[in-house]
Amino acid sequence: MPQLQEIRPNLWICEISSASVQVRTVLVRGEKRAVVWDSLTRPGDTAPLVETLAGKPYYVVYSHGDWDHVWGIAGLTVGRLGVIGHEDCLRRFGDDVPRTLQRMRMAERGKWETVRLVPPNIVFTSRLSLDLGGLTLDLHHIPGHTADSIVGWIPEWGVLLGGDAIETPLPVVNNAHLLEGWLAALESWQQLDFLERSIPSHGSLEGRESLDQTVAYLRALAGDRQFNLPRKLDDFYRETHQKNLIVVDGGLVLHE
């Protein structure tokens, strides 16, 4: 069972690692209510979150509709206030999200049978603010990795929840046409002196490293192609980098 790690008072992360994916969720707890940021891959992954919530009412927020962020939702039913996502995330639940589940169930029989898809029932277009009681979570749409990608800003703590809009050692670029806006949005976050920590769903937890490294990579991808890639890069990210070059150079759209 995955374990929760409290990285500051009332802020936990929970990570799972397997042969196919490494991903984390974040639990933010205010005085009145809490937020679970993404639900991991299967309902059983969320048990430590439910224990820590201890009956406190909470929202679930989808950073975007990719499978490793939304398939654990069936384990988060007690006391849920609502499931929040961008309006394009809701659209995906009628499109690629169920198709991906069907494909993976056929490929790995028995592994994904407990997964139950729950689309967001609270949607927004550009920004939504959640009052958690003494704490605020501002949700901002940043299309880039996917059209429905969002980030979460906790101004009282200077913490940015990045989803897959921020990733180290490098992000996945699926749509060349979203790159410019994605980069500009992250650069605006980077200019905030009081932003102390960025927390991606995949990658570094050290201060602002994940934000700064993502911005540097996207700048290079959009500009002179001078990359400072880590010397030791695993196969997934090596292949991702090559795919990103093809997507941007070809002006491609692989995933909306």
Q: What is the pLDDT of residue 78?
A: 67
Q: What is the pLDDT of residue 1?
A: 66
Q: What is the pLDDT of residue 135?
A: 97
Q: What is the pLDDT of residue 229?
A: 84
- Is the distance from CB of 147 to CB of 256 less than 8 angstroms? yes
Q: What is the pLDDT of residue 226?
A: 78
- Is the alpha carbon torsion for 244, 247, 251, 256 positive or negative? negative
DSSP the chain: ---EEEEETTEEEEEEE-SS-EEEEEEEE-SS-EEEE---SSGGGGHHHHHHHTT--EEEE-S---HHHHTTGGG--TTEEEEEEEHHHHHHTTTHHHHHHHHHHHHSTTTSTT------SEEESSEEEEE-SS-EEEEEE--SSSTT-EEEEETTTTEEEEETTS-SS-PPP-BGGGHHHHHHHHHHHHT-TT--EEEESSS--STTHHHHHHHHHHHHHHTT------SS--HHHHHHHHHHHHHHHHT-BS--
Q: What is the pLDDT of residue 252?
A: 59
Q: What is the pLDDT of residue 19?
A: 63
The pLDDT profile of the chain, 256 residues, written as one tens digit per residue, is 678 999 999 999 999 887 677 899 999 999 999 999 999 999 999 999 988 998 899 999 999 999 999 999 999 976 778 999 999 999 999 999 999 999 999 999 999 999 999 999 999 999 999 999 999 999 999 999 999 999 999 999 999 999 999 999 999 999 999 999 999 999 999 999 999 999 999 999 999 999 999 999 999 998 877 778 888 888 899 999 999 999 998 775 666 5
Q: What is the pLDDT of residue 254?
A: 63
What pairing do the DSSP bridges indicate for beta strands 127-131 and 22-29?
unpaired
Q: What is the pLDDT of residue 194?
A: 94
- Is the distance from CB of 255 to CB of 174 less than 8 angstroms? yes
Q: What is the pLDDT of residue 227?
A: 77
Burial class (CB in 10 A: 0-12, 13-18, 19+), 125: exposed
- Whole-model pTM? 0.95
Q: What is the pLDDT of residue 256?
A: 54
